[in-house]
Structure 1
Amino acid sequence: MTESPEELLTEAQLKRLQDFDFPCITKELPGIGGVLKQELEDFIVEEIPVYEPQGTGEHLFLWIEKRDVSGPDLVGHLSRSLNIDPQFVGMAGIKDRRAITRQYVSVPASCEPDLAAVTIDQITVLKHSLHQNKLKTGHLVGNRFSILLRETSSEAYEVAVQIRDELLKFGFPNYFGPQRFGHGGRTVQFGLKSLFRPPGKVRGKRARFELSAVQSWLFNLALAERIDEELFHTALLGDVMQVRKSGGPFVVEDVNREKERLKTGEIAIAGPVFGPKMKMPTDEVQERENRILSSAGLTLNDFARHRKLCAGTRRPYSILPESIEISPEANGLRFQFELPTGCYATTMLREFMKTDWSPDSVRDSIE
């Protein structure tokens, strides 16, 4: 094992990661260009909760609007203003910094008399109610977006409608966004280094995040290969499929039987987030995924050593939005849509823009 994390990636692998060089599914259509997040009002995100607070309980749910405030800074502000330990602050997901965002945050019910201290210029409590449980990571259906893309091309609306129609028919590639990999791919590099360290020396949230960056990179490679080979919408023998509504996985044993369900959007091909608990494919697909691992100098056993930090799962290769509303504005085009939790709005917008997608160009974008 090398001591330098940079040496764990080849020059070509590192460049592809840094450039976010993964294919679009609408590559036959031109991009519309554009600039994200010139103003706070250009990027509005509203959480879609799994449930509303019940009105009684030991936890206080705060529906908060924040402007140009990061998730960690919000937690720090709540901790200081309510005089509580940060561990008592519950959030379903981390939202963008450079944006206007609305989401639930939970704190102990005993904080209610001090709520006036929370509201400042950039943070506002819009409403609050009691609930019996603390809000935990992942307790959201997804996010609702309203995004203004400025400085688009002269024929942007016409082209955007064509791209939108393609995405509503087939879905868009569910890549992990470039911000997941860190500046210059450093998060992946340190994650690779951690994979080869003894399990007892790899622990904590930072290590989990770095290892997940490696998993995300490998998923993107597997997805990109399917698109390059025009297999994004094609079921293969041995594929792992997910039922879109329930998430239930199964292995394809009869390609013809699943072809129509894939076409209607009832099921989705699910790619690898490598780890010991990941549902394994068979036949050709297993060979493909083994080849992805091998190209990175890895095996499944490397993830099994750190099973508590990178258990593994399957992730849909495509996301099929119910609708994408596009409306011209004086400064560009506004996009309004909803995405399930775990998806990146910027990876969908990439299909429209087809411009620079380095981590620095889309920093802070939501997952």
Structure 2
Amino acid sequence: MFLEEPPQVDRQIGLEVYYTRSSGIGGRIKTQPRDFVVKEVLEDHLESKIYLRKPPQVSGAGPFTLCMLIKRNRDLLPLLLELSQRLGTTVGRFGFAGFKDKRAITSQFVTVPAKYFRPPATLEVKGARLVALGRRETPIRRSTWETNLFRVAIRHIDIEEPRVRETVHEVHGDLSKRIPNFYGYQRFGTVRRVTDLVGREMVKGNFEKAVFLLLCTKGERDDEQLRRARDDLLETRDYRRALEAFPRRLTFERLLLRSLIERPDDFVAAIRRLPIQLRRLFVNAYQSYLFNRMLSARIQRKLPVGKPTIGDFVLKLSPTGDPVNVGIVGNSNLEEACKEVEAGSHAVALPLVGFASRLSEGEQGGIEREVLKQEGVSPNGFYIPALQECSNEGSFRPIAVTPSHFSHEVRSEGKKPVVLFRFKLPKGSYATILLREFMKPRDPISAGF
């Protein structure tokens, strides 16, 4: 493990350790949107495309239209809200498998009921294009998704090219078998970390605080006018004035404000004005924060990431990486569990804490209970009576994943080296977690994370 402490931005979202020993190459990602390209692969091996000279033909029938959504510098949920308004439907009718980076060029599959959008239709809005491909019996869900393909360029590297090559080779050697399956920065909001904080207050039943965190937390890129508007709202509770002051691009904040103008003390009703996907994302983000803290503590205590210990949960995995069943490791099955994890058919897992969760046993279980105690929450808190649709029963997440199809190229542009990476990660795993091990940025925000 690298001995230098990660920066505060990392530690605030539970990334309290590095897994590799090198000092990192520094640099910056996402200098241009084309420097960070993400494509999605479905379970039937259908791959999304960035450049659609000829859209793929998808044969099939059913009540849903399968679409390819290509976006550049757009957040997914505000984009889907805009598309739903253009199509005359609601954002909840879109099916999608996962969120993709905002500051990037990304391509993914979505579904929408066919009565709103049929092949060969195309819809273009600022920074995005929706292309109807064919019909489908079921909507896109997380279980439909298999992997993501990444192409990433790291620029503005200040060390010499030979040292870059040496460091990349060293880190790749450390990560060739596995990387810790932390949740990445975009799960929480890098320049405005608020998503998990709102979720924490929802779990604790503090709905007023949750609303004002979303409305009044300042972001790194807020201009002075917006900063003053957030401060003014926190001080005055003047929702009408805030609605006039908040820019139109803050779609979700403005939805909250409109609700509060109508019903000033009903903070649950205000939260319910937000798309269901976003309401659930708040709670999911808090689960992710707890997971990151628990996994960081495991690594800090030198418990293995690549093999189970007594008391750990082990997931049996389907060919697409989905959990089939879960068991707990004891003295009698430790040797067998180690072989299954080594073979790749099983994975060591931590709980994503929910109201039906079991915690691990042994030393890992002690870590989990300590984190929950420090946070002042219990699994029962994830049942939210006032917002039952946001309740979460919990699940499991593998603590490590293996990057595949990994390649890299180091070249010079001007007088500085540039590193180009290509790799594939399982669904739900974050490229930024892999990249932070190579770069070890002192300031992740300015480094493009």
TM-score, normalised with respect to structure 1 = 0.82
Q: Structure 1 residues 15, 47: closer, same or farther in 2, change over 3 A?
A: closer
Structure 2 counterpart of 1:242: 315
1:29, CA displacement in angstroms?
1.6
Q: Distance in 1 between matches of 2:80 and 2:74?
A: 10
Relative contact order, higher structure (CA 8 A, sep 6+): 1
Q: Counterpart in 2 of 1:344?
A: 430
Deviates most, 333-342 or 174-183: 174-183
Deviation at 1:342, TM superposition (A): 1.3
1:78 aligns with 2:83: yes
Q: Deviations over 1:71-128 (max 9, x none)?
A: 1343244334444443333322222222111122223334337824x13674345661
SS in structure 2 of the partner of residue 33 of structure 1: coil
Partners of 1:294 and 1:346 in 2: CA distance: 29
Q: 1:277 to 1:55 in 2, by over 3 A?
A: same
Contact 2:120 2:132 in 1 (8 A): no
Aligned-pair identity (%): 27
Cα drift, residue 244 of structure 1: 4.2
Question: 1:163 offset after TM fit, Å?
Answer: 1.2
CA contact (8 A) 1:82 1:115 kept: no
Residue equivalent to 1:6? none
Cα distance in 1, alignment partners of residues 61 and 26 from structure 2? 49
Distance 1:235 1:60, change over 3 A: closer
Instruction: Provide the rounded CA distance (Å) in 2 between the counterparts of 1:46 and 1:335.
Output: 14
1:63 to 1:160, Cα distance in 2 relative to 1, 3 A: same
Q: 1:345-364 to 2 correspondence within 5 Å? A: 345-356=431-442, 358=444, 362=448
* 2:183 match: 176
Counterpart in 2 of 1:224?
A: 296
Q: In structure 2, what is the equivalent of residue 9 of structure 1?
A: none
1:252 alignment counterpart: 329
1:99-158 deviation per Cα after TM superposition (whole angstroms, max 9, x unaligned):
111122223334337824x13674345661122223335531121111111123322223
Q: In the aligned structure 2, how far is the partner of 1:322 from the partner of 1:114?
A: 34
SS at match of 1:192: helix
Match of 2:400 among 318, 337, 346: 318
Seen in structure 2, the aligned counterparts of structure 1 residues 73 and 192 have a Cα distance that, compared at 3 Å, is closer
Q: Which residue of 2 aligns with 1:115?
A: 121
Tell me if the contact between 2:120 and 2:131 (Cα under 8 Å) persists in the aligned partners: no
Deviations 1:204-231 (A, max 9, x none): 5454333222221111111111111221
- TM-score, normalised relative to structure 2: 0.68
CA distance in 1 between counterparts of 2:202 and 2:92 reads 26
Once residues 279 and 240 of structure 1 are traced to their aligned partners in structure 2, the CA distance between those partners, rounded to angstroms, is: 10
Which runs of no fewer than 5 residues in structure 2 stay unpaired?
Answer: 1-7, 47-57, 208-265
State the distance in 2 between where 1:113 and 1:48 align: 21
1:123 maps to amino acid: A
Question: Does structure 2 retain, via aligned residues, the 8 Å contact 1:270–1:314?
Answer: yes
C-alpha distance 344-30 of structure 1, shift in aligned 2 (>3 A) = same
Contiguous gaps of at least 5 residues in structure 1? 1-13
- Aligned position for 2:370: 291
Amino acid at match of 1:74: L
d(CA) in 2 for partners of 1:192, 1:88: 27
Match of 1:61 in 2: 66
2:119 corresponds to 1:42: no
Runs of 4 or more off by more than 6 Å in structure 1?
Answer: 198-201
The residue type paired with residue 250 of structure 1 is: G
1:31 corresponding residue in structure 2: 24
Partner Cα distance (2:30, 2:137) in 1: 37
Q: Choose which of 398, 403, 419 in structure 2 pairs with 1:333.
A: 419
Check 1:256–1:62 CA distance in 2 against 1; reply closer, same or farther (3 A cut): closer
Alignment correspondent of 2:106: 101
Structure 2 distance, partners of 1:88, 1:305, is 24
Partner residue of 1:18 out of 12, 15, 18: 12
Indicate the SS of the match to 1:34.
Answer: coil
Which stretch of the first structure deviates more once superposed, 259-268 or 60-69?
259-268
Q: How does 1:295-310 map to 2 (within 5 A)?
A: 295-304=374-383, 309-310=391-392
RMSD over aligned CA atoms reads 3.0
Whether the 8 Å CA contact 2:356–2:380 is kept in 1: the answer is no
SS of the residue 1:164 aligns to: helix
Q: Retained in 2: the 8 A contact 1:68–1:98?
A: yes
User: Post-superposition shift, 1:362?
Assistant: 5.0
